């Protein structure tokens, strides 16, 4: 089956976050009363579910918003993957530039 480039780029970003999440902490996130690890796993599952229903742009937006809320640390490769996915999803990266605050 053929997937759109937007979907593939969103999945690539999600897979990258899955790798980063392996070193996520067991710290309790203020306001959530759950660990960073629990939350990021939940957010990734939600993103995957949206991708499965062909809502990859919405999945990407939700994942990014949630990562920002819990201050989940990312790397510069994440930013490149975000830009690629957003370009393919016809999203404006400038509106999401704040996500760069999460780069370690």
Report the C-alpha gap between 101 and 4 in whole angstroms: 29
14, pLDDT greater than 90: yes
CA Rg value for the chain: 13
Q: Is the distance from CB of 102 to CB of 74 less than 8 angstroms? A: yes
Given this model, what pLDDT does residue 3 score?
A: 77
Report the C-alpha gap between 98 and 93 in whole angstroms: 9
Query: pLDDT tens, 40-84?
Result: 999 999 999 999 999 999 999 999 999 999 999 999 999 999 999
Query: pLDDT tens, 16-32?
Result: 999 999 999 899 999 99
Q: Is the distance from CB of 101 to CB of 52 less than 8 angstroms? A: no
Q: What is the pTM of this model?
A: 0.94
Given this model, what pLDDT does residue 104 score?
A: 87
Q: How many CA atoms lie less than 13 Å away from 26 in the CB half-sphere?
A: 0
């Amino acid at each position: 089956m053929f997937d759109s480039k937007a979907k593939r780029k969103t999945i690539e970003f999600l897979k990258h976050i899955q790798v980063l999440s392996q070193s996520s902490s067991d710290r309790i996130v203020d306001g959530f009363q759950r660990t960073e690890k629990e939350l990021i796993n939940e957010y990734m599952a939600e993103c995957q579910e949206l991708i499965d229903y062909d809502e990859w742009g919405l999945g990407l937006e939700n994942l990014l918003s949630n990562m920002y809320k819990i201050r989940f640390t990312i790397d510069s490769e994440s930013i490149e993957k975000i830009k690629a996915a957003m370009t393919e999803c016809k999203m404006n990266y400038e509106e999401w530039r704040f996500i760069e605050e999460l780069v370690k």
